[in-house]
Structure 1
Amino acid sequence: MMLTDIDLSEYDDPRHYDLENPLGAEKTFFLDLVEETGGPVLDVACGTGLLAGEMARCFGVEVTGIDLSAPMLSHARDMSGDLPVTYVQADCRDFDLPEWYALAIMTGHAFQNMITDDDVISLFRCVYKHLQPGGHFAFETRNPSASALVSSCSRTFYRRLPRSEEGAIICSIARDYDSSQAVLDYKVWRENTETGQERVSGGRLRFLTDDEIRGLLKRAGFQLQLVYGDWNRDSLTDYSPEMIYLCQKPYSDM
């Protein structure tokens, strides 16, 4: 079954997405994790496959990337060459693959697209059933206590993207935060300074607390191992920018 309630408009332009979202410190974190756990690896919400390709290139492990966005996956396939990476269009809450994995990852804050507890539990249980006994799952979400969760319904400057062959891009954003649901709705305008062409997209993000995530992981059967506050593996504090979870499927589940 393909679930389509997630707004995918942010992912219609893969090249500009990569321009806005290059790999950062998370690259070293996840490559170190692959070195520690081995493969095969499942990359959930893999996007354009930047990280999936790096994992396959550096360690020769087989990687399966799943994502809902057809344009992102098409771009990923074009960039993967002969690397041992397979891309599958699938909903992370409802997929069925023929392999068990030593490691599953979910990054790029894709976890925050899970808007309800049912979404999260479906994701966790689906990942869980695809892990080998003793397999690991790592993902991150922005720390709500360190995030500026305020509404700004008027359009305000967000950032200017580096100049490309198509010109510079000016980004502006409007935000509407619902504190009762811990959900942020946003709308982004991207204007090309040379052509005047403007692209508009948006989405929804949920900001779960650490306690809430721990409870949902337990419900899905995972054993939580560590929670980090940044990509340097520092301990989580109220001021940490990230909440990075490393959990495990018990060996007893065989």
Structure 2
Amino acid sequence: MNKFENLEEYDDPILYDKENDAYREDVTILLKWAAKAAAGVIIDLACGTGRATIPLALEGFHLIGVDVHNGMLMEAKKKALNLHLNIKWVKQDCTNLDLGIKSKFIYSVGNSFQHFLTNDAQDGFLISVNRHLEREGIFIFGTRFPSEEELLQQNEEEYWRSYIDKETNNKVDVYTVSSYDPLNQVQHNMTIRKYIDSTGEIVDEVRTNIGLRYVYPKEMERILMINGFEITQIYKDWNESPLTEDSHQMIYVCKKTREL
């Protein structure tokens, strides 16, 4: 699988927003670091439909949102236009960025780091961040913790959650099927959405696939160091709780220490 084949889960931006747009746990810490960055442009990498970009712009910060998926960017642009926000949206591959500027603060949320499935893709992404970050600038990103619970899931359909589709009033039951490839540290996930009408009948079923790369904490230390970053903080959640062995996420606050 190459980096452009891992986009199936994002082919429906409207569905993505239905399921994810209300999530705001990461916005508070992003606002805190945005305020520390003072003047200048903030860069949101793998911005999607602007879930985290738009709240920062609403607070008066200047943003560039970057994503490789044109449909997600078009939806982000439409949402920003409706709110009269002047956000620059750029379609580029985040492993080979060329934005022509440097920033004091760059972030990438939504566990987007896991979309870079190979060592070369991870390095390309971090090199791009380094080249667009000012010296001593801050880079924040999150990724799932490689716990047994995450990696040793049964390769069978498992219920995840349900929600109501507000447009159709259908109930949507969401299931996942996961299998982990330990040699490549990639978890292959199928998401199954079953749309159920008021009579309880399944009227539609949609399946999407995505691969997610997992990185261990000591491995991440080395990856960041060789790409010119120092880890200043690592948390297990967006409330800035210390990382523990039973964590579900790793939230990294990094400082650029050298040019590459």
- TM-score of the superposition, structure 2-length normalised? 0.90
How far, CA to CA, are the matches of 2:215 and 2:48 in structure 1?
22
Partner Cα separation in structure 2 for residue 67 and residue 33 of structure 1: 21
C-alpha displacement at 1:4, in angstroms?
4.7
* Counterpart selection for 2:181 from 178, 181, 199: 178
Runs (4+) of structure 1 moved beyond 4 Å? none
Please state how far the C-alpha of 1:147 moved relative to its aligned partner. 3.8
Unaligned runs of 5+ in 1: none
Q: Are residues 1:23 and 2:23 paired?
A: yes
Counterpart of 1:154 in structure 2 is 156
Pair 1:246-2:246 in alignment: no
Shift in CA distance, 127/74, structure 1 to aligned 2, threshold 3 Å:
same
- Alpha-carbon contact 2:24-2:52 (below 8 Å) kept: no
Counting only pairs closer than 5 Å after superposition, residues 127-138 of structure 1 correspond to structure 2 as 127-138=129-140
2:108 aligned partner: 106
Q: Report whether the alignment pairs 1:9 with 2:8.
A: yes
1:19–1:161 contact (8 Å) kept in structure 2: no
1:189 to 179, 183, 192: 192
User: % of aligned pairs identical?
Assistant: 29
CA contact (8 A) 2:188 2:211 kept: yes
Give 1:40 shift. Answer: 1.2
1:51 corresponding residue in structure 2? 52
Offset of 1:253 from its aligned partner? 4.7
The match for 1:69 is 69
3-state SS of paired residue (1:144): coil
Q: 1:165 aligns with which of 157, 167, 172?
A: 167
> How far apart are 1:146 and its partner, in Å?
6.2
Decide which moves more: 219-228 or 207-216.
Answer: 219-228
Matched, 1:34 2:37: no
Amino acid at match of 1:205: L
Aligned to 1:19, what secondary structure does the other structure show? Answer: helix
Q: Distance in 2 between matches of 1:172 and 1:240?
A: 23
